[in-house]
Amino acid sequence: MTKRPFPVKVKVCGMTSLEDAMHAVECGADAVGFIFYKKSPRAVTARQAKAIADKLPPFVQRVGVFVNETAEVIERTVKYCGLDVVQLHGDESPAFCKRIAGKVVKAVRVKDAASVKDLSRYAVSAFLLDAYKEGEWGGTGERFNWSLVKQARKHGPVILAGGLDPENVTEGIRVCRPYGVDVCSGVESKPGKKNKKKVREFIEAVKGM
Catalytic residue numbers?
A: 13, 130
Question: What is the distance between the alpha carbons of residues 182 and 141, in angstroms, rounded to a whole number?
Answer: 11
Question: What is the distance between the alpha carbons of residues 7 and 42, in angstroms, rounded to a whole number?
Answer: 28
C-alpha 189, offset from chain centre:
19
Q: Please tell me whether residue 33 adopts helix, strand or coil conformation.
A: strand
Question: What is the distance between the alpha carbons of residues 183 and 7, in angstroms, rounded to a whole number?
Answer: 16
CA atoms within 13 A on the CB side of 189: 7
> Contact 125/105 with Cβ under 8 angstroms?
yes
Backbone angles phi, psi at 165, to 5 degrees: -155, 175
Question: What is the distance between the alpha carbons of residues 60 and 83, in angstroms, rounded to a whole number?
Answer: 10
For the chain, how are helix, strand and coil distributed in percent, rounded to 5? 35, 25, 40
Backbone angles phi, psi at 98, to 5 degrees: -65, -25
